[in-house]
Amino acid sequence: MDWTRYKVDVPEGSQGNFAVKRFSVSEGDFKMNVLINAMHGSSRYVPPGTYTKLAQVSGWRDTIMSDTPDEIRDHYEPIRRAVGRCLVNGLGLGVVANGMLMNPEVEKVTCIEISQDVINLVAPHWKARWGNRFEVICADALEWKPPKGSVFDVVWHDIWVGICSDNLKDMATLHRRYGKRCGWQGSWAKALCKRQQ
């Protein structure tokens, strides 16, 4: 997989408590990151380069999502499977929606995003690129119910800011909700969350 194909070009900016920012990783940062992660038993790392992240302006978590290779690999399965009508719970930077829409066999991608600030920051960029094939609804994915009779070819759930076994309860709820409404569904980092149980 050529992960660079899925890097995003969302413009930098801020809205409410969120911001889209570019950041760089130096060769020294990379080596330190590999060493620290190895000490913690993780093979995740960020190679040198310039990336984009969705960040909290204030709060406990700076980075909500980025277009680093590990994150793109985390989302490659729904991008690879995407055809027809797709639903993505969680807009983030739009990495998944954009990757799906790069496939001409994808008719439409609907994103459910809880934060109007994130929508204001990110959605206009993708709407300008993909037009009516891209749709965003401001709602809580755990409460939003698709219109009666709605069926999706692929559903992807990514509403969590971190990898934690506590996420498994929400994943189970969402997978039950869409079990009969889609051809395939998955949740971000589900296997990693299960390992933390």
pLDDT at 192: 86
Residue 27 predicted with pLDDT over 90: no
The percent of residues above 90 in pLDDT, for the chain, comes to: 78
pLDDT at 3: 87
Q: Model confidence over 96-150: pLDDT tens digits?
A: 999 999 999 999 999 999 999 999 999 999 999 999 999 999 999 999 999 999 9
The whole-number average pLDDT for the span 166-170 is 95
175 φ, ψ to 5°?
-65, -35
Distance CA 105, CA 183 (A): 15
Residue 25 predicted with pLDDT over 80: yes
pLDDT at 46: 83
The answer to whether the beta carbons of residues 48 and 91 sit under 8 Å apart is: no
Residue partners of 58: CB distance under 8 A and separation at least 6: 17
pLDDT at 163: 87
**For residue 115, how many other CB atoms are within 10 A of its CB?**
18
pLDDT at 95: 97
pLDDT at 28: 72
The confidence band for 37, taking pLDDT boundaries of 50, 70 and 90, is low
Higher pLDDT, 93 or 3: 93
Higher pLDDT, 80 or 162: 80
Residue 74 predicted with pLDDT over 70: yes
Residue partners of 184: CB distance under 8 A and separation at least 6: 81, 153, 154, 155
| Average pLDDT score, the chain | 92
The whole-number average pLDDT for the span 9-35 is 84
pLDDT at 78: 98
pTM over 0.85: yes
